[in-house]
Amino acid sequence: MSDAAAISEDAVLGGRLRLRQPTSGHRAGHDAILLAAATAARPGHRVVDLGAGVGTAGLALACRIGGVALTLVEREPELARLAQHNARANQLPADVVTLEVGADAAAFAAAGLGPDSVDVVLMNPPFHDAARHRASPDVARATAHMATATTLEVWTHAARRMLKSGGVLTLIWRADGLGEVLAALARGFGSFGVQPVHGQAGRPAIRILVRAVKGGRAPLQIWPGVMLNEAAGVPHADAVRVLEGQGALALAGLGAP
């Protein structure tokens, strides 16, 4: 990413949010926008987008809910610089922290993210199973997409440590990994809400959106799925509205902490 040709500027949320991002590697897509649309927050809440990349999910949430105190955490310095640019260019105040998700508590505290200090965490961890997906030859893209045996444990641990009691974590993962997600969240989280995402009506889900409350005790709730496309392949009108920033998903309707 050493020259201008390596960066594009793209519009999401129906043009409401403009993002500078690398032309290769991991790029903003439906997953980040759906994650933002599934996340509940209120003005004044401290919100952390963990593994933020160029800031897509966190900034999309800030577009929908003004007045949140947003922190974008990203390990790659180049992406963190783009996230800072995107926040400023879209007039969405955000702190940007260059930090590994797996860094220890002292490193997070030094970055202003101490234990029990955050109301909301949203995250889109690498989730492709290396046993079933061939990694991209692009190192940045492979790192952003491929999960390891400890990815969920590391990411949920970081979120749990930062969140206040009653704080909410929202994440997106591949649909066939629901059991892995619930197992990783079993320590410290409860009151789970799950919303499947279907690429096409009548077909199995491809993603799951999961909401979990730190210290929550309510029963698991499974909500009606999001259909990105009709059976004929035509974009579903409800999904189009969400992807264009004109509405939120059921998980966000459960309310902010």
Q: Tens of pLDDT along 182-209?
A: 999 999 999 999 999 999 999 999 999 9
In this prediction, residue 46 carries a pLDDT of 98
Residue 254 CA to residue 249 CA, distance in Å, equals 9
pLDDT at 107 over 80: yes
Q: Are 47 and 61 in contact (CB under 8 A)?
A: yes
User: Of 14, 55, 173, nearest to 47 (Cα)?
Assistant: 55
Give the ranges where the chain is alpha helix by DSSP (H): 30-37, 56-64, 77-89, 105-110, 139-145, 151-162, 178-185, 237-243
Number of other CB atoms surrounding residue 5 within 10 Å:
8
Each residue's pLDDT tens digit, 212-244: 999 999 999 999 999 999 999 999 999 999 999
Each residue's pLDDT tens digit, 130-158: 565 454 454 444 444 456 778 999 999 99
| pLDDT average, residue stretch 105-131 | 91
DSSP of 210-222, one letter per residue?
EEEEET--SPPEE
Q: Are 152 and 181 in contact (CB under 8 A)?
A: yes
Q: Are 214 and 187 in contact (CB under 8 A)?
A: no
In this prediction, residue 27 carries a pLDDT of 87
pLDDT, averaged across the chain: 92
| pLDDT average, residue stretch 12-19 | 96
Q: Are 245 and 190 in contact (CB under 8 A)?
A: no
**Given pLDDT bands bounded at 50, 70 and 90, which one contains residue 127?**
confident
Residue 162 CA to residue 99 CA, distance in Å, equals 14
Q: Are 78 and 52 in contact (CB under 8 A)?
A: no
pLDDT at 111 over 90: yes
What is the length of the chain?
A: 257
In this prediction, residue 128 carries a pLDDT of 52
How does strand 205-214 pair with strand 163-174?
Answer: antiparallel
3-state secondary structure of 196: strand
